[in-house]
Amino acid sequence: MPAVCLTVFLGLLSLGGSQAAPLTCEEILKPLELSSLNQVPSLLRYTDCLAGCLAWIHASVDTQEKTIDVKLFYNGTLGGKDTMCISISYNYTQHDNKTWSSVFLNPSSMVLLTTCPDCFLTLERWHENGKPYRSLKLLSRRRELTAAELDFYKKQVDCLNLPTAVFMDPQTDLCPLTSTTAEEVVESLVTRLMQLLSQAFVG
């Protein structure tokens, strides 16, 4: 079962010996290049506190097609229905050697930052109602990070001048791979609406 995480915004880099000079913000936030993405773990978990729901993703990196295909699984609501497990698919396309772009929900750009071997750290930027936003998200297969990893993530957050990270409970069960797709939920809602309209006209 994929595991992990913290919500807003973490990361890690292997730290050198105690005598090594402190890393600069430029080094800490150096984006990964396409050639570094072959070993990205596929099943990852994070806690999305903004949406108020636990979520995880299945990520697939195609270095030849220069795309990252993502399937997001989350426990939430759609169309006024009760809380349920829903999956949504979207992708990122390489803009240059380090930057990726997507039009999912809002047009956004993303860079991947150096992090632990079984993690996936994204720094996304987008505009909403004319205002710029940034989001630093860490996904991992593990439920807990080490003290060194947590310390390093705090340095990344500080370098980006982001608010203090919020830690979420990683023990909650995740939605299964068989979760209903958003398209299926919408289709079901449309069918139900048509049935109600039909009954109203018959009545």
Q: Structural domain boundaries of the chain?
A: 25-202
Q: What's the CATH number of domain 25-202, 2.40.128.20, 1.10.3720.10, 3.90.960.10, 3.30.230.70? A: 2.40.128.20
Tokens 């978990």 locate to: 45
Higher pLDDT, 125 or 57: 125
Nearest to 124 by CA among 148, 147, 107: 107
Higher pLDDT, 135 or 199: 135
* Segment among 13-22, 35-44, 78-87, 176-185 with least mean pLDDT: 13-22
pTM, to two decimals: 0.65
pLDDT in tens, 80-115: 556 677 778 888 888 787 888 888 778 889 888 888
Structure confidence at residue 39 (pLDDT): 55
Asked whether residue 79 carries a pLDDT value surpassing 60, the answer given is no
pLDDT in tens, 24-54: 999 999 888 776 665 555 555 554 444 444 6
